Amino acid sequence: MTTMHVFLHTLIPLVLMALAIGLTALYWRKVVKKNSMLANAQYEQLKSDSEVNLQNQLGQQMEAVHMDRMRDRVAMDRQAHVMNSKLDFYHKVLLEVQTLQECMASYTKLITSTDLQPGQGEWNMVRNELKKRTDQMAEMVNGTLELMDYEDMTEIERNDQIPVNSFCQDVFDSCLTYRDGNVDMRLETCLDDDETVTTNMKCLQKVLVNLLKCSMQFTHEGEIVLVVKRCHQQNELSFAVSDTGLGIPEEAKESAFERIRNTDVSIKIVVVRLRLCRALVRLLGGTIYQDPHRKKGTSIVFTIKA
């Protein structure tokens, strides 16, 4: 073998190896470049998606903040409306108490006048009027003070175990002194005598007494009935105080539980009682309303959690 043959035999493998290495390097260079382009494209896509997601998240957060602010504003407006309603109510009560006080002062001035020598009839008239005005003033003041306390409460303890029928009968009997005229009064119950309810006895008693007093004040004939039964929801009891009295005027029905109208003081006292009943029933976990189907007289229905 000549020297040339040896050289070629050695050179050819080297050239082929170099060519293979070069082609391999070129291939991997293209692969790396392609992967780099793909990586850049993915990065840009991720960046774009991230920006879109960020914008969406910011938009959702801004919308949530806007909705929260709207809810807060609605809640504040509602709270302001309730507060203004309360202040207006209490203001009218104070004006009525002031009127009663002025009336009593005029009677006091009358009986202390040295120019008058009233007879027994006049003395009796003045005494009865003073007692009437005193009682009205006391109920307006005491009822409103109670109302201010109970309207601000969010909850009360309801741990008293009460035998419903006997409790209602006792409350009913305690109110008989307020009866005016020949009125049939009775308790009708759909419950067994041994059935009990767990609630707040003091608050339930206040509701029943105030509703019965309202009925007795304006019912001079016919009947006053207290009906007790279990609601379709087994965890609620229903009470209804119904009468055949004068009834609530049509124009005052919607505001009977709300505001004092320009009317007689006895009607204003009824509004205080009804508003107090509404606050108490709310704390007892129920609702109170006028029976819209009642044609004669008035029927006030309320429920409590049993």
Rounded to an integer, what distance in angstroms lies between the CA atom of residue 147 and that of residue 292? 26
Contact present, 287 and 212 (Cβ < 8 Å): no
pLDDT digits (tens, 9 = 90+) for 34-68: 777 877 777 777 777 777 777 778 778 778 777 77
The Cβ of residue 262 has, within 10 Å, a number of other Cβ atoms equal to 7
Mean local confidence (pLDDT), 9-24: 68
Segment 95-106 mean pLDDT: 77
User: Across residues 109-133, what is the average pLDDT?
Assistant: 73
Contacts of 242 by beta carbon, 8 Å cutoff, 6+ apart: 215, 224, 225, 227, 291, 294, 297, 298, 299, 300
Q: Which residue has the higher pLDDT, 245 or 92?
A: 245
Tokens of 151: 């309207």
Please provide the average confidence, as pLDDT, over all residues in the chain. Answer: 81
Q: Is the pLDDT score of 247 beyond 70?
A: yes
Between 31 and 294, the more confident residue is 294
Q: What is the pLDDT of residues 262-280, one digit of tens each?
A: 667 888 888 889 999 999 9
* pLDDT band per the 50, 70, 90 thresholds, residue 165: very high
pLDDT > 80? residue 112? no
pLDDT at 225: 94
- Single out the residue of 162, 285, 300 nearest to residue 233, CA to CA: 285
Tokens of 27: 């291939």
| Whether 267 contacts 261, CB under 8 Å | yes
The pLDDT tens digits of the residues spanning 127-143 come to 788 888 888 888 888 88
Q: Is the pLDDT of residue 156 over 90?
A: yes
Question: Please, what CATH class does the domain formed by 160-305 belong to?
Answer: alpha beta
Q: How do the domains of the chain map onto residue ranges?
A: 1-114, 160-305
How confident is the model over 16-41, as a mean pLDDT?
A: 72
Residues 266, 188: Cα–Cα separation, whole Å: 28
Closest CA to 179 of 228, 137, 139, 221: 221
- State residue 95's pLDDT score: 77
The pLDDT, as a whole number, for residue 261 is 64
Q: Quick one: CA torsion of 97, 273, 149, 206, rounded to 10 degrees?
A: 130
Across 15-19, 27-31, 164-168, least confident range: 15-19
Tokens linked to 12: 């050819």
pLDDT of residue 115: 66
Residue 278, burial from CB neighbour count under 10 angstroms (0-12, 13-18, 19+): buried
b or e along 82-121 (b: 16 or more beta carbons within 10 Å of the residue's beta carbon)? Answer: eeeeeeebeebbeebbeebeebbeeeeeeeeeeeeeeeee
pLDDT digit string, tens, across residues 86-98: 777 777 777 777 7
